[in-house]
Structure 1
C-alpha cells in the first residue's frame, strides 16, 4: 500500500485549510479508505477537531481517521511511515511558507490551495505556489466559500485563469454546514449526505484524487 499524500497549503490564515482537510478525511474514511491526517499547524485546529470526533463517536479510532502531529525533523520519516499504512494522507500545513510547510509540499502527490473570493486570498497564494513550483509538485486551486452570485468571484476566477493556474472544476459554497458539522467532529457527508454541500465535497474529493493520479503518471 502506498498512500496518496495531499497537502493543503495557503499562506493566508482563515482560508479554510483545516475545514477542507477534515471534510475530505471524513468523506474518504466513509468511502472505505484508510485515512490519516497529519496536523503540522501550530494552531492545532485539526487536532482539536479530531479529539471532538473521538468523543462524539465514542471511538478512539475517530471513525477510521488516524491523527499524527509529528513535525520538525521527524516529519519526513513520519510521512514515509504513513505512506505505507494508509490509502490517503492529508496534511494540514501552517499559514506561512516555513520549513515544515515546505517539507509537506515537497512530500505531496498533490497540493490543494484553497482560495476564497477575495483579493487578499488571491494575493496570498504566491509564496505557496512558488514553493510547489520549486519542488516540482502539482497543485490545484480550490475555490472555497463561494457565494451563489456576485461579480467578485468572477473577477477572482478570471484572474486565476489569466495566470493560467489549474483550478478545480468543483468548488465549495459558502455554506454554514461545513463549519457546523465540525462542531461535533463530523463532516457534511455524514450529517447531510444528500445536501448540496455534501455533493460539492464529494465532487471535489473525486476530482482531487483523479488529478493526483493523472499527474503521477506523467
Structure 2
C-alpha cells in the first residue's frame, strides 16, 4: 500500500511551512512511521534542516529527503510513497499554477497561518486552489500568543475560512526556532509545552489522514 502525502502550502513567506513540515515529520517518525520529506522551495530551508540533522546518522533513521521541481513532484511522490508510510512536501511561498502539482498529489493539505491578519488574507488563495483540486485543507495557527487581542481576532476570523481550523496550534516559542537550527524537532529538545503541541498536532493530522 502506498504511503499518504501531505502538502504544506501557504502563499505568504514566513508563515512557518518548514517548521510545520519538520515537526510533523519527527512527530510521525516517533510513532514508528517511515517519513519522506520533499523540498520544493528554492530557498532550501528544509534541506538545510535535514542535512544538519544528518550530521548525526542515527537521527535520520526512518527519514528520507529529496528535492524536486513542481513539474517533477508527481513522479517523485509516486517513488517515495512506494517506500515510505508518509510523504511531506514543503512548498515555496506562492499560490499559482506552480503549486497545483503539489496540491494534486496530496491526500491532505496543511496551511500554516502565523497569527496576523496579513497572513490570514494570504490564506484564501491557497484554500481556493486546494478546493479547485478537490483536496481537503486544514489550517494550523502558528506563533500564537495566548491571551492577546490579536490572537483572539485572528482565531475568530480564521473560523470563517473555507477550511477546518485545527484547535491544535503552535505557540510563539523560542523552542521551535532553536530546534530547527539544530536539525531537530521541537519535541526532541526536552519535555515541555512545545513537545505537547507537536504530539497533539501529529495526532490530529493522523486522525484526518485516517478519515480520508
Partner of 1:212: 209
Partner of 1:23: 23
Q: Report the secondary structure of 1:162's partner residue.
A: coil
Partner of 1:10: 10
Calculate the aligned-residue CA RMSD, in Å.
1.4
Structure number with the higher helix fraction is: 1
* Distance in 2 separating the partners of 1:142 and 1:38: 20
Query: What's the TM-score, normalizing by structure 2?
Result: 0.95
The 5 Å alignment of 1:65-214 reads 65-163=63-161, 165-192=163-190, 194-214=191-211
Q: Report the secondary structure of 1:114's partner residue.
A: strand
* Distance in 2 separating the partners of 1:13 and 1:79: 24
Q: For structure 1, which runs of at least 5 residues remain unmatched after alignment?
A: none
Deviations 1:178-204 (A, max 9, x none): 110122111122221x21101011100
Aligned length: 212
Q: Residue 33 in 1 paired to residue 33 in 2? A: yes
Deviations 1:154-191 (A, max 9, x none): 11111122345311121111011011012211112222
CA contact (8 A) 2:100 2:129 kept: yes
Query: What's the TM-score, normalizing by structure 1?
Result: 0.92
Partner of 1:46: 46
Change (3 A) 1:49 1:115: same
Shift of 1:63: 3.3
CA contact (8 A) 2:71 2:101 kept: no
* Distance in 2 separating the partners of 1:164 and 1:42: 29
Partner of 2:62: 64
CA contact (8 A) 1:8 1:93 kept: yes
Q: Report the secondary structure of 1:85's partner residue.
A: coil
* Distance in 2 separating the partners of 1:139 and 1:175: 25
